[in-house]
Amino acid sequence: MKKTLSLMALMLALSGCQSGGSEPVNGPQSLRGEVPVAATAPVAAVAQYPSKGTSVAVTSVGQPPVIPHSADYPINLDKNGCISCHRGGKRKMAESHFDDGKVDGKYYQCKACHVPQAENF
Ligand code: HEC
Ligand code: HEC
């Protein structure tokens, strides 16, 4: 008897959910949001980086400076697109990054510490 009652209660609860008529909370959500297919959805913003020659202020001690430009350069076994520009010159990597004049292996994965910072996100 007790079992039957709780089963009925469960069925009532379930049917209560269904009769609500609204979309299930965790149902599929369109990436277009409420925009109908016929209309044009706004284009996702393109990252805007600080103008050339700028450094973004470091805000805590020991913080790796953020990258004030796009960071779409390959970093793999054959190639590290960051080193060519940052081996020397005005924006030379910090001395800590070098070991005997060569880039220290510990610092090879630049983006493990440095992240690009766009102005519009
Ligand atoms: C084509 C040359 C070039 C490449 C490639 C390049 N950078 Fe830069 N980087 C610069 C210049 C120039 C600046 C100075 C800011 C500016 O003019 O955009 C800079 C600034 C920086 C800064 C800020 C330094 C500071 O003093 O605040 C960091 C960090 C940095 N880059 C990291 C990287 C990383 C990591 C990569 C690879 C994903 C990379 N860069 C690839 C030229 C380059
Ligand atoms: C383990 C974390 C780490 C990795 C990996 C790393 N950096 Fe850095 N980087 C730092 C820190 C922290 C600083 C701030 C100076 C310092 O403490 O040595 C810095 C400073 C810099 C600067 C600014 C130097 C200056 O004097 O203004 C440049 C440019 C830079 N790094 C580029 C790179 C590039 C390019 C790579 C990859 C080849 C790289 N970093 C890998 C942590 C890292």
User: Measured between alpha carbons, how far is 23 from 39 in angstroms, rounded to an integer?
Assistant: 23
Pocket of ligand 1 (CB under 6 A): 52-55, 65, 67-69, 71, 73, 81-82, 84-86, 91, 110-111, 114
pLDDT, tens digit (0-9, with 9 covering 90-100), for 34-56: 888 888 877 878 999 988 778 89
Residues 6 and 14: beta-carbon distance below 8 Å: no
pLDDT, tens digit (0-9, with 9 covering 90-100), for 84-107: 999 999 899 999 999 999 999 999
Residue 70 binned pLDDT confidence (cut-offs 50, 70, 90): very high
Measure CA of the first residue to CA of the last residue in the chain; give whole Å. Answer: 60
Pocket of ligand 2 (CB under 6 A): 62, 64-65, 80, 82-83, 86, 91, 93-94, 96-97, 103, 107-110, 112-114
Q: Is the pLDDT of residue 16 over 90?
A: no
Planar angle of CA 17, 22, 26, nearest 5 degrees = 80
pLDDT at position 41, please? 76
Residues 47 and 121: beta-carbon distance below 8 Å: yes
Residues 93 and 107: beta-carbon distance below 8 Å: yes
